[in-house]
Amino acid sequence: MSENTLRATRIFPVTPVAAVVGATAAAIAIWAVATTAGAELTVSFGPGQPIQKITIVNVVIAALVGSLAGWGFLILLRAFTAKARAIWTVTAIVAALLSLAGPLSAIASAGTKASLVAMHLAVATVLIVVLRRTTPT
């Protein structure tokens, strides 16, 4: 005689808030590693333009604005189409790739550009992976 034993496990639901917080935390982690390693993280967006220092406040605001915009767009798509997940995913990937134009076109050191690209990709990756899980196919 065999018995099936059900094991009670606590599963935390994946939420959009977790996506936003996780994406922001990923950007902060990369910023912290870069600045601890001695990177100055300063950029200019053209000759004669002022040099801007990338602070933790800049990182948090940029990650939150991008993440909340992505979540908002997903909410809108859910309201108007049954294919919200697929449309949102393609749009999010395209937006992530387009967002790389900022750091890649900036006047900055290679290390700064690499750090900024890593932050953009980390935010996009966390957001896309986690928000996709919050939406049925």
pLDDT tens readout for residues 13-55:
678 999 999 999 999 999 999 999 999 999 998 888 999 999 9
Q: How high is the mean pLDDT of the chain? A: 91
Query: In the prediction, which pLDDT does 115 show?
Result: 97
40 part of a folded domain:
no
112 falls within a domain: yes
**Residue 75 reports pLDDT greater than 60:** yes
Q: How confident is the model at residue 134 (pLDDT cuts 50, 70, 90)?
A: confident
- The average pLDDT across 101-113 equals 95
The whole-number pLDDT of residue 136 equals: 78
- C-alpha torsion 113→115→118→120, nearest 10: -70
Range of the domain at 121: 24-32+53-133
In a domain, 69, yes or no: yes
Distance (Å, whole) CA 24 – CA 10: 25
pTM to 2 decimal places: 0.86
Report residue 38 as tokens: 């001695």
Please tell me which residue, 7 or 113, carries the higher pLDDT value.
113
- Length, in residues, of the chain: 137
Q: Is residue 1 part of a domain?
A: no
Overall domain count for the chain: 1
- With a cut of 80, say whether residue 6 has pLDDT above it: no
Residue 44 lies in a domain: no
Domain assignment of residue 10, yes or no = no
Whether 13 is covered by a domain: the verdict is no
Torsion of CA 21, 88, 61, 116, to 10 degrees: 100
103: number of Cβ within 10 Å: 19
